[in-house]
A and B are shown apart, each in its own frame.
Chain A
């Protein structure tokens, strides 16, 4: 999946919850107020788009610190 499409999905989750959209990749997910359940929701939305399940260990999620990490993760997971 394209990086921009992943970011759009992240921002859909953010704006649905009344939060500011993310514009910078370098920002920490904590500072962007992007939470671990938001990560799961993005994964579910991507699953719906792709029509297949994404399964991964919680350890992979724990290593994510920045928006860039999230985009890298899903880019790789959907390749």
Chain B
């Protein structure tokens, strides 16, 4: 455990990896807020268990006014500071570009690019005035390597990596640390679209012989947002070595 006593926003924390990140960060003594388009039973359970240390709201990630209001609401509730954000919300893709309709492309761009940009913008304004903070984008190995069927998704993750590097230059001097954690194919709802033989091929090509899981990724996110590493402007791969 590296991070405790922080006020943290995790986008898209109502299920999947986001839910795991939220749950573990709460368990480690942080105050955590998350938003998603719809509330899940797990959000009710976390509210019951953690009371005022947890905050959930249904927010459209591309509605800048609502995201700004959410950040203000969270800071008011948690005592003013925003120590870290984790840009986790994303949607996947499993289509060749030539067969992907424009609505799907627009949706991926909105959720995976516009959403994290809006949240990051709101967060760095807070962090500038409070004297620092941590921003962690959940990127992907797809942002650095080519995989068929993931062109728009890959582009969106490459965007996160590139934005992170520029932003690290913009705000690093203000003690704001900006980094990406890039999982490989991991056991998730997104990888559930892969056939068993595809998953076995990925495992066979992975030096560690296994897919990463939510807990592997949490451990790295926890370190990245701890503010203890002086790591700035980096993409950390959590992929069992498949990109090595």
Contacts and interface: CB of A to CB of B under 8 A. Distances in A.
What bracket does the count of chain A residues touching chain B fall in? under 10
Nearest to A48: B129
B125 interface: yes
B46 interface: no
Interface string B193-226: 0000000000000000000000000000000000
B129 A44 contact: yes
B129 A37 contact: no
Interface residues of B, number: 6
Contacts of A48: 129
B173 A44 contact: no
B236 interface: no
A45 interface: yes
A35 interface: yes
A44 B125 CA distance: 7
Nearest to B173: A37
Interface of A is mostly: helix
A44 B122 CA distance: 11
A5 interface: no
Nearest to A45: B129
A61 to B, nearest CB: 12
A35 B174 CA distance: 11
A66 B173 CA distance: 21
Contact of B173 (A35, A45, A47): A35
A40 B128 contact: yes
Contacts of B171: 37
Interface string B174-186: 1000000000000
Nearest to A13: B129
Interface string A45-69: 1011000000000000000000000
Contacts of B174: 37, 41
Interface in B116-136: 125, 128-129
Interface of B: 125, 128-129, 171, 173-174
15 contacts: A35-B173, A37-B128, A37-B171, A37-B173, A37-B174, A40-B128, A41-B128, A41-B129, A41-B174, A44-B125, A44-B128, A44-B129, A45-B129, A47-B125, A48-B129
Given A41-B129, A44-B129, 7 more contacts: A35-B173, A37-B128, A37-B171, A40-B128, A41-B174, A44-B125, A48-B129
